[in-house]
Amino acid sequence: SHIMRAIAGGFDNESVAITAMVLTFYLWTRSVRNKGSWPFGILAGLAYFYMVATWGGFVFVLNLVAVHAFVLVVTGKYTHGLHKSYTLFYIIGTVLAIQVPIVNLTPLKSMEQLSALLVFAGMQVWAFMEYRIEAKKAKTFAEKWQVRIPIITAAAMAGVAVIIA
């Protein structure tokens, strides 16, 4: 409904927000385009902050970027560039979003923004697994899973400990 009002000519903050939303999506997709385009993740994080500062619907943008990053990993399109892009986007965007008085610590406490935090944490675990696979020079499927299983187990146990605590 917000997008329709902005397109229909409403000159409230939605008009500015649509520009911020499109800019964030453009910079995010640009940051995952190829191996060397990850620095655009910094600009995507700054554009996300612009979105947060102008519109309350910023959660939509955050979750859509998180879902996109998650789908890329699940479909086997993980790269170190994706890790760098999402990490920069999430850290810069979240640290700056927390500075907006009305938002405060909501990005770290809100259930509707939990998916982005989980994707961020999962991306760090995945990057560590890839690093260990490369360090051990694991080539076969079985060798890679011998590296992955202990890391996934430790991450799952840490997640359970955080939930229980």
pLDDT in tens, 55-109: 888 999 999 999 999 999 999 999 999 999 999 999 999 999 999 999 999 888 8
Closest listed residue to residue 88, CA positions, set 128, 133, 37? 37
Structure tokens at 119: 């994707």
Closest listed residue to residue 128, CA positions, set 150, 113, 143, 157? 150
Please state, in angstroms and rounded to a whole number, the distance separating the CA atoms of residues 131 and 125: 10
Confidence (pLDDT) at 108: 87
Please state, in angstroms and rounded to a whole number, the distance separating the CA atoms of residues 5 and 84: 35
CA distances from residue 99 to 72, 95, 105, 107 in whole angstroms, order as listed = 30, 7, 9, 11
Q: Tell me which amino acid residue 64 is.
A: L
| pTM of the full structure | 0.86
9 band by pLDDT with thresholds 50, 70 and 90 = low
